[in-house]
Amino acid sequence: MSKQKQLKVTLTRSMHGRLASHKACVSGLGLRRMHQSVTVIDTPENRGMINKVSYMLAVEEV
């Protein structure tokens, strides 16, 4: 059984004043406030959201 890769995503910049689609990507990843970290599964959908708002995030493999 193969274990799914996971990514630890941390919001490093504020969502204030961002495009609505960028805010939607951040909330879709489960982030609500600055410096909050969540662990998400490494899927193409999550990668797409991460790439779209990469300037606001810190990402590391778990």
The predicted-structure confidence for 24-59, as pLDDT tens digits, reads as follows 999 999 999 999 999 999 999 999 999 999 999 999
Contact 42, 62 (CB under 8 A): no
Contact 49, 22 (CB under 8 A): no
And the tokens for 46?
A: 């999550």
The answer to whether residue 1 sits within a structural domain is no
- pLDDT category at 1 given cuts 50, 70, 90 is low
Task: Give the residue among 27, 46, 34, 41 at the shortest CA–CA distance from 10.
Answer: 34
Domain carrying residue 31: 6-61
pLDDT of residue 57: 97
Q: What is the CATH number of the domain that holds 38?
A: 3.30.1390.20
Residue partners of 34: CB distance under 8 A and separation at least 6: 11, 12, 13, 14
DSSP state of 24: H
The number of domains in the chain is 1
The answer to whether residue 52 sits within a structural domain is yes
